[in-house]
Structure formats: structure tokens, C-alpha cells
């Protein structure tokens, strides 16, 4: 047992002997069977045992360490623990950055089984950390699903395999694909292992397993295809494949030359899918066509890019799509799981989908048609001055909920700890192109605010369906994007670009791309704080209820420079019927709870690593406790680790 686990176990035992109030056992029970709590991704728990009155009493109940982490200094690529477990049939399942799958007792953290795919791709050399955001569960139906593999866990790996495991034992299902595995690179074409693989969990719907994939950004025009596929949950047979090319596209000539089955350069689906089993719809948050920062050579493949789409679950046919960014050259791909809801007083009470974007735009769409529930305005935006580039003259802006992220960066609103770095920031800003949201990349350098990471990102939103309140966390960080002519770019050393400074070749275009954060000479952001926020939105009124600062400068700045300025954040929130919103996500090592009604921070727990994941909650027995679980294992900006932490009342 680690010193951390021992300390908290001791503290828990001591508190158990104290005069703590008895735990209320009268409330509801709930599992957490899907990534977002349900297939619609509400990120909502109906549990009430933990509430605003007792949340301050939470203590660590158990800790699980997988041992699967790397700081990137050896042969194995650096890890980022972004996983969100699921809890179903009295078992907790989660995957590690090495794609091992663990089954635990959800009340004690005791291991029941572990599966190791024995990855070849652990020694990646690409730009991304190793990560796995989750697994999916399937419960068979009918007499053919009795016995071995009657219930299954599906996981996708960095070796580009979809694997089916017996949920009871962790043994691969022999009747699925080849000994439990289906290859996902077939028809994709030649690409390094790190350029194409799945990081987000598959979606299980109507006995199908639907999956997309990460495609590395800004490398080349003919990047691997963004195809989305549906596989038979029993046999692993391919039932359909949606190649996101424009209607009427004839790919025969280009595919014949490349040896691919699917068109290269199309927008991909790297984030989390949602499903509506009743209507037989799969909701896909679409990425960009390749490359992200230069559109002139995309061959009209932008048709589905940066859109929320709905596919027929049985056939993969497109039911509708709604584009959030036209001709996207900002890497503003749709990053988050569409959240499915139906609330009286919101859009007439119709079945709906809420889609948050990196720009902080919240689009509310009719789930069956994709039509906006409230007016969306096409507004003029800045145009490109790069030779050959032609962008959309307008972009869509929602009107019911105002944009949730500021967009103006000027010398006048430059920020600094002192007049020295504030002046430095003002001078830097004046030297770049900065015309607000949708300022396009340029040869002189353009300020992008929010940056390509958002605003919001894959953490998405959580929704309280009873009170019609949506919660979303955002970071506020600006970037400078510069297109570099090819001859000049070829003289640069790509290996010398150390995060967060980036160089990308965009092969097949006249330019490479340089991207860096907009910081002062002191290393502080040039945009005013807060640099991280948690916001509550009234979906009926279309108004912001409150905005709270999320995070501090602790763990990224030395003491005494620990300020309550908010912090960059990746990960999501959990809203509960107890009136509490839980969230980690920040660059500091804390797990937090907020009062859902007021935004007051009501509980803060120091944890061993940053928690760049999304929490879950469950209560399984009438005499049992409600647990809140979060993965804490760092990100690119923080120390990597492997702690899965469970909290409960004493």
C-alpha cells in the first residue's frame, strides 16, 4: 500500500469512530453503465446521499493503482490518465493508458480481473500522450447469449484493434473477430501507428459497436480517413462504414491510386459518441478535414467537418448534420459528446441535443432533424490574407445562449503581474493580427482566442434535467498561429519544438505551421484571468446563472505565486441530484465540489496528481454508500500517475 493510500485509509478509520452524522440510506440507487452515465451523455447522477450539507465530510474510501504510467523519459511514450470508468452489474471497469482493462469491486477497489492487450504501440514517437478514455458494456439478449461472453466489455487500443472481453472474466471472446480482436486499420492506408488509433470509448447500440478514431492533426493533406464504422457486437463482422465524403462524391480514382478503401483527409470522430436507442440514432462530433490550419487544398472535404451529425444506427446512413464552423482553419473541431435531453420549456420540450464547441458556443438542436431549437445567426467574420486561401464570409452564432467565452485580445486589455510584463504583452499583441473570434491564420502570426484546445474541450457538459441547468468548464488561453512558407519551414528543426510550442509540416500545402501560447516574458498568460471557469447556464431562459473560477496557479507556479486566477483545464464535470457539481480537470492537484445553485466552492481535496478526467457516481445497495470516483494521473502539463480515487461519506 502506498503512503498516500495508507494515510487516507487511516484517516477514514479514525473518522469512522467519530461522531459523524449517520449516512442517509433512504435515497435512490444508480449504476454508471455508460461513459456519460447514459448513452445520451447527460453526465448526471440522480443520487442524493451526498448533498450540499454533507459534501464537506467526504473522505477517500479506496485507491487503485494500475502501475501503468510513464513520464516519457524512457522507451515508453508519456501517459495521460483521462479515463472515465463505468459501473454495471456490481463491477467497475476502466482502461489504462497502456490499454489494460481492470475490473474492480466498486465498493472496495479490490481487483477481480485484469486484461493486458500486450501493445506493440507503447513506444510511439508521435505528438500525443498515451491515453484511453473509457470502455463500453454490452448485455446480450436471447438464448444465443447464454454462457461465456454473455455480457461483454469492448475496448479499443493504440494498436488499432477493437477487443471484446467476457465481462465476468476478462477473457477475450473467441467468437468476436479473430480470437476477440478486430483490426481497425484495414482500408485506412499506410500511416505510422501513432497517426491513427482510437482513444475514446466505442458506443454500443442495438447490438452494434460503433467507433471512430483519432487522426493526427496538421501532418499532411492525405491523412488517414475519418471513417466511422459499426461492428456486430456478437461476431465482430463489419455491418457498415460511413466514409464522411460530400454527397455525390466519386472517390474511385483517388482510392485506386492509394490502395485505400476509405477516402483520405476526411473529418474524423475522435471524441465521445452518443446514442439514442429508441430512435436508432448515433450522434457524432466531427473533427476537421486535413490539414487543420489550411483549407485551400481540401478537395471540398469540409462538408461534414466541425459538425454534429446523426447516423442511422442500423445502416450508418446520415440522418442529418449541423455545421458549427464553416471551412474550419482554427482546429475548432467539435470536441465533446453531444448531450441528449428532453426538458419541458426548452425548445418546446422536443427531444434535443446540446452541443458545446471550443469557441464556447452552445447549440441546441432538434434530435430528430438537426434543426436549431432557437435562431442561429450567420455573422460576418474576418477573411484570410494568405494567398490561395478562401474562407466562409460568415460563421454561425447561437442566440438563445450567448457565447460563453470572451474573444477580444487587444493591447488595451493585455494582462500582466506587473507593468513590465503587461507592457510586454501589449507590445506582442500589437505585432500580431488580432480581430476577435475567427481571426484566420496568417503569415505574420494571428492571435487565436480561444485557442485550438478551447474554451470547452472533450470534458463537455453536464445537465441537470430537472432544473434545466447545464454546467460547462472552460479554459481561457490564447495562442499565436503562424503559417510559414515551405522553403523557410524546411530549415526548422521539428524535434526542437517542445510543448507547448508546436511545429507541424502540413505536407502537400505551401506552408508549415507554428503555434505557441500567447505568454509574456515572465511566462504568464497575456489574457486577463480567470484562466479557468465553471459556468452554469439556464437552458430555459438562455442565460448564464453564475460563473465560478476553476483552479489556481498552484502546482504550475512557485509559492508564494499561488493565485486564485483559475487554471487551464481538461476533463469534465458531474452534476448530481444532491445539488453538487464535482470536477477535477485543472492544472492544480485538487478535486472540487461546487454548489449547483450558487457556484460556491464547497469542498476541495488535495490529490496526488492532477485529475484530467471526468468523475462518476454510483450507489449499488439500499444499505450502501454513494461513491464519487475520479481518475488522477496527470496530463502533458503535469506529472503522470495512476491513481483511481473513490470518495464517500464516513
Catalytic residues: 331
Contact 285, 338 (CB under 8 A): yes
Residue 14 burial by Cβ neighbours in a 10 Å radius (0-12, 13-18, 19+): exposed
Do β-strands 573-576 and 44-45 pair in parallel, antiparallel, or remain unpaired? parallel
Rounded CA-CA distance 348/343 in Å is 8
**What does the block give as the cell for 387?**
494567398
103 bridge partner residues = 93, 113
Q: Which candidate, 570, 566, 556, places its Cα nearest to that of 532? A: 566
Residue 150: Cβ within 10 Å count: 16
396 bridge partner residues = 378
Residue 225 burial by Cβ neighbours in a 10 Å radius (0-12, 13-18, 19+): buried
**What does the block give as the cell for 517?**
501560447
Q: Is the peptide bond before 25 cis (omega within 30 degrees of 0)?
A: no
**Which stretches does DSSP call E strand in 367-464?**
376-380, 394-398, 446-448, 461-464
Q: Which residue is listed with cell 462504414?
A: 241
Rounded CA-CA distance 591/569 in Å is 12
How large is the C-alpha radius of gyration of the chain? 24
**What does the block give as the cell for 148?**
461465456
Residue 122: Cβ within 10 Å count: 18
| DSSP letter (8 states) at residue 73 | S
Q: How far is CA 511 from CA 294, 410, 514, 597, in A?
A: 8, 27, 10, 49
| DSSP letter (8 states) at residue 495 | G
Q: What angle do CA 521, 523, 528 make, to 5 degrees?
A: 100
Amino acid at each position: 500500500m502506498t503512503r498516500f493510500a495508507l494515510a487516507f485509509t487511516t484517516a477514514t478509520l479514525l473518522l469512522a469512530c467519530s461522531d459523524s452524522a449517520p449516512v442517509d440510506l433512504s435515497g435512490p440507487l444508480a449504476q454508471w453503465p455508460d461513459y456519460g452515465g447514459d448513452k445520451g451523455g447527460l453526465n448526471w447522477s440522480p443520487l442524493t446521499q451526498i448533498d450540499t450539507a454533507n459534501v464537506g465530510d467526504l473522505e477517500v474510501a479506496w485507491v487503485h493503482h494500475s502501475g501503468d504510467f510513464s513520464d516519457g523519459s524512457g522507451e515508453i511514450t508519456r501517459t495521460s490518465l483521462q479515463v472515465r470508468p463505468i459501473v454495471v452489474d456490481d463491477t467497475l471497469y476502466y482502461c489504462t493508458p497502456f490499454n489494460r482493462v481492470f475490473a474492480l469491486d466498486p465498493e472496495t477497489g479490490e481487483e477481480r480481473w485484469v486484461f493486458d492487450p500486450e501493445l506493440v504501440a507503447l513506444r510511439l514517437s508521435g505528438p500525443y500522450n498515451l491515453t484511453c478514455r473509457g470502455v463500453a458494456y454490452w448485455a446480450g439478449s436471447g438464448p444465443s447469449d447464454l454462457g461465456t461472453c454473455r455480457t461483454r466489455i469492448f475496448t479499443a487500443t493504440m494498436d488499432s484493434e477493437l477487443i471484446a472481453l467476457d465481462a465476468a472474466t476478462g477473457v477475450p471472446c473467441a467468437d468476436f473477430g479473430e480470437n476477440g480482436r478486430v483490426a481497425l486499420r484495414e482500408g485506412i492506408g499506410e500511416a505510422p501507428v501513432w497517426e491513427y488509433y482510437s482513444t475514446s470509448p466505442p458506443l454500443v447500440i442495438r447490438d452494434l459497436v460503433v467507433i471512430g478514431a483519432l487522426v493526427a492533426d496538421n501532418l499532411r493533406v492525405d491523412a488517414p480517413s475519418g471513417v466511422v464504422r459499426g461492428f456486430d457486437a456478437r461476431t465482430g463482422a463489419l455491418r457498415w462504414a460511413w466514409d464522411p465524403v460530400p454527397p455525390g462524391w466519386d472517390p474511385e480514382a483517388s482510392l485506386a491510386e492509394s490502395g485505400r478503401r476509405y477516402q483520405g483527409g476526411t473529418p474524423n470522430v475522435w471524441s465521445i459518441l452518443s446514442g439514442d436507442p429508441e430512435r436508432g440514432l448515433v450522434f457524432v462530433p466531427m473533427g476537421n478535414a486535413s490539414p487543420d490550419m489550411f483549407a485551400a487544398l481540401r478537395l471540398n472535404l469540409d462538408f461534414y467537418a466541425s459538425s454534429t451529425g446523426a447516423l442511422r444506427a442500423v445502416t450508418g446512413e446520415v440522418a442529418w448534420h449541423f455545421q458549427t464552423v464553416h471551412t474550419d482553419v482554427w482546429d475548432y473541431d467539435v470536441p465533446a459528446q453531444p448531450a441528449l435531453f428532453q426538458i419541458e420549456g426548452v425548445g418546446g420540450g422536443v427531444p434535443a441535443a446540446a452541443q458545446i464547441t471550443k469557441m464556447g458556443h452552445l447549440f441546441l438542436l432538434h434530435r430528430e432533424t438537426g434543426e436549431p431549437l432557437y435562431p442561429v445567426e450567420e455573422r460576418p467574420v474576418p477573411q484570410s490574407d494568405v494567398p490561395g486561401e478562401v474562407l466562409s464570409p460568415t460563421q454561425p452564432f447561437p442566440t438563445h445562449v450567448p457565447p460563453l467565452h470572451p474573444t477580444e485580445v487587444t493591447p488595451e486589455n493585455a494582462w500582466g503581474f506587473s507593468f513590465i510584463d503587461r507592457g510586454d504583452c501589449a507590445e506582442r499583441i500589437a505585432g500580431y493580427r488580432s480581430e476577435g473570434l475567427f481571426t484566420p491564420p496568417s503569415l505574420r502570426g494571428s492571435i487565436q482566442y480561444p485557442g485550438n484546445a478551447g474554451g470547452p474541450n472533450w470534458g463537455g457538459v453536464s445537465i441537470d434535467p430537472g432544473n434545466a441547468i447545464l454546467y460547462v468548464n472552460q479554459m481561457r488561453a490564447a495562442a499565436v498561429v503562424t503559417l510559414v512558407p515551405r522553403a523557410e519551414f524546411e530549415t526548422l528543426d521539428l524535434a526542437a519544438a517542445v510543448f507547448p510550442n508546436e511545429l507541424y509540416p502540413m505536407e502537400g500545402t505551401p506552408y508549415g505551421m507554428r503555434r505557441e501560447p500567447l505568454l509574456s516574458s515572465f511566462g504568464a498568460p497575456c489574457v486577463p484571468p480567470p484562466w479557468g471557469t465553471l459556468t452554469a447556464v439556464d437552458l430555459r431562459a438562455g442565460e448564464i446563472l453564475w460563473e465560478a473560477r476553476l483552479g489556481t496557479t498552484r502546482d504550475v507556479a512557485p509559492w508564494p505565486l499561488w493565485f486564485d486566477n483559475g487554471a487551464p483545464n481538461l476533463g469534465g464535470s458531474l452534476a448530481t441530484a444532491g445539488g453538487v457539481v464535482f470536477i477535477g480537470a485543472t492544472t492544480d492537484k485538487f478535486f472540487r465540489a461546487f454548489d449547483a445553485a450558487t457556484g460556491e466552492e464547497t469542498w476541495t481535496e488535495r490529490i496526488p496528481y492532477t485529475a484530467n478526467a471526468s468523475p462518476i457516481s454510483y450507489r449499488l445497495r439500499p444499505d450502501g454508500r454513494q461513491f464519487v470516483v475520479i481518475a488522477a494521473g496527470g496530463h502533458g502539463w503535469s506529472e503522470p500517475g495512476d491513481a483511481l480515487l473513490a470518495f464517500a461519506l464516513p
